[in-house]
Structure 1
Amino acid sequence: MRTPDTPARYRPPAAPALPGAPMAVTDAWLRNRRLSEHTRDAYRRDVAGWLAWCTACQLDPLRASFLHVNEYARALESTLSARTGRPLTSATVARKLSALSSWYDFLVKLRAVDANPVAGADRPRIDRDHSATVGLTPAEVDALLAAADADTGPTAARNRAAVTLLADLGLRVGELVSLDVTDLGAERGHRSVRFVGKGGKARRRALTPGTAYAVDAYLAQRAAAQGVTTHQLTGALLVTASGARLDRHSVFRLVRRLARVAGIPAWAHLSPHSLRHAFATTARAEGVPLEDVQDAMGHADPRTTRRYDRDRHNLDRDPAYTIWAARARRRA
């Protein structure tokens, strides 16, 4: 008898669910992709969630159809986020289904399934002109950096370096915490940093004088504490008091703590990504071409960059003014 939680058109499995242990197949799929460790972990959780749902519904994942995927998507949409206590957003559901689709594409290549059931599923519509991330104004970014400058304690120099890298380069938090000391360098007169960005792409960015100063001050303090020169430092760029790599959760807490000290009203809703949004908005407001901002942020699609630009609908930037001013100059 079909229960409310059982997917439509369920058929009992007649063969092992997957060619090998499910997570072993997932690990093989992830090894086949050029992904950051954070993305690998997220995709692994996404597939594990689908497999758990299939197990609860007594559904063989190899026999799933787009109808099952649709039902799973509806279940996700009614699931409360452990972090916010609110239903999962359309973007989160879409991301989970995207990971699942990639997983099934891998199974198709292994000839474990004939077709990808996610391909025909009804995925949530994502508004590319909207982002749920709470952004920051340039004045608020300045206030947050000032709070970092005024911070005291054994980790103050590290915290200043971390926040400055986020603000001046618009890095993703995963990119920030994955940096190693050896990623720092110099190219054609520029201080630079190299790292692996989203999608496993090698990236390089210039360090502003202010960012370079904050990083140098932190490394000098760290080297002195270890009794070595800065050139002898190894391992992660940003470390804890015990020498372990700083994790993304610590950076989240740092941003909110400094924002609270700075008196930013929305401090409790901010994240490191808020500084990334502010980077894009400020760069565009200062006249940096969209394609340059896109390249700096590592976006494959310019529409993503535009979504980060919170000031894009400001009428001050209406091109009609530019055209009118040019016409006025010609008539003068």
Structure 2
Amino acid sequence: MKLQTLAMAADQDSGFEQPRKPSRREEFLQTMDAIVPWAALCQVIEPHHPKAGNGRPPIGLERMLRIHFLQHWFNLADLACEEALYDSASLRRFAGIDLGRESVPDATTLLKFRKLLHEHKLGEALFAKVGQQLQERGFKVNTGTIVDATIIAAPSSTKNADKARDPDMYQTRKGQQWYFGMKLHIGVDSQSGLAHSAVVTAANVHDKHLLPDLLHGNEQRVYSDSAYASQKPLIRGKAPQAKDFTNQRPRRCGVVDETQRSKNRNKSRIRARVEHVFGVVKRLWGFGKVRYRGMHKNATRAFTALALANI
């Protein structure tokens, strides 16, 4: 029988506070606790996770994974996450931490776990495992794909120790404005809105070059914006049965083709579903800017964020 400490009783409001309405954060965490396939995701990481030996016993894998997901959901750096766990009872309950028995994992421990995911490319593995779990539950990705890309900004300043920008990031122009950073290219199912493929590149790589990598091959339709116009050979090479529903440029020689504009508007009603994924990852979870230096570290974060967005 597990004994309840005073700290755990206080966290659970057991006689110390009046009953109250659960906050949105608590409701969100309760939902995630129930629907995330923890056992399957832990199996992906377990072969690489430290084992108990002669040194200090490692913190449990599921607890570290839960804390790592908290960092994504609430856009927390390592030290900020450590402090938030001490400060918030709801976060501690989600992570299974009882301050009466143990302390919160420190920022260095969280950093080492994140490096473990990066070194073994486990962000991509988690993304693939979530997709597999969703398909086993009945979600299908075989009718149509929406492809799109978004820019993740990086610091362009050279006021740092190296006196240089991140060498993995590049600049690109969109409209009349220049951006510096990387690009996240994704393929999203046109019915369910689930991301089934993703590629991370520097910002100067044109969207169309990654088109074949974002298709699974069984599409009946492919939707995209005008950046992917005139790419029927690329689509046919990867998905022979797919029809091209790419938006075409309606303006030619200064004249607007209203018929083409109307067709684009109809296509965009479906194509807009890809923006929901970007909205969750960039606006809700704060991945509009890179947090780390180097492409691969940010790619691990991007794949993990997409896996969580699918959930």
TM-score, normalised via structure 1 length: 0.29
- Structure showing greater Rg: 1
**Bigger proportion of residues as strand:** 2
**Bigger proportion of residues as helix:** 1
